[in-house]
Structure 1
Amino acid sequence: MNDFDAIAAKYLDAFNTVDADERGRLVAELFAEDVSYADPMATVSGHAGVDAFIAEAHRRFPGWVFALAGPVDGHGDQARFTWGLGPEGEEPPVVGFDVIVVDGGRITRVHGFLDRVPGA
Structure 2
Amino acid sequence: MTNSTEDLMNANLLEVFGQRDPALRRAAIEHTYTEDVVFLDPDEVVEGYDALDAKAGKLLEGAPGFVFAPAGPVYVNHDMGYLAWNFGPEGQDPVVRGFDTCFISDGRIAKVYTVLLAE
How big is the shift at 1:2?
Answer: 6.3
1:115: which partner in 2?
Answer: 117
Q: What residue in structure 2 maps to residue 3 of structure 1?
A: 4
Note if contact 1:78-1:100 (Cα within 8 Å) is conserved in structure 2: yes
Q: How many residues align?
A: 117
Distance in 2, Cα, partners of 1:114 & 1:43? 15
CA RMSD of aligned residues (A): 1.5
Unaligned 5+ runs, structure 1: none
CA shift at 1:4, angstroms? 2.3
Equivalent position amino acid for 1:6 in 2: D
Question: What residue is the counterpart of 2:92 in the other structure?
Answer: 90
Shift of 1:58: 1.0
**Unmatched runs of 5 consecutive residues or more in structure 2:** none
Structure 2 contact 6–81 (Cα < 8 Å) conserved: no
Q: Give the SS at the match of 2:17.
A: helix
Q: Report if the CA contact (8 A) 1:70-1:81 is conserved.
A: yes
1:105 aligns with 2:107: yes
| Amino-acid identity (%) | 33
Tell me the TM-score normalised to structure 2 length: 0.91
Tell me what 2:30 maps to.
Answer: 28
1:93 touches 1:116 (CA, 8 Å); kept in 2? no
State the Cα distance separating 1:42 from its structure 2 match.
2.2
**What SS does structure 2 have at the residue aligned with 1:7?**
helix
The TM-score with structure 1 as length reference comes to: 0.90
Question: Which SS does the other structure have where 2:103 is aligned?
Answer: strand
CA distance in 2, matches of 1:93, 1:65: 10
Report the AA paired with residue 5 of structure 2: F
Q: Which has the higher contact order (CA 8 A, sep 6+)?
A: 2
SS of the residue aligned with 2:94?
A: coil
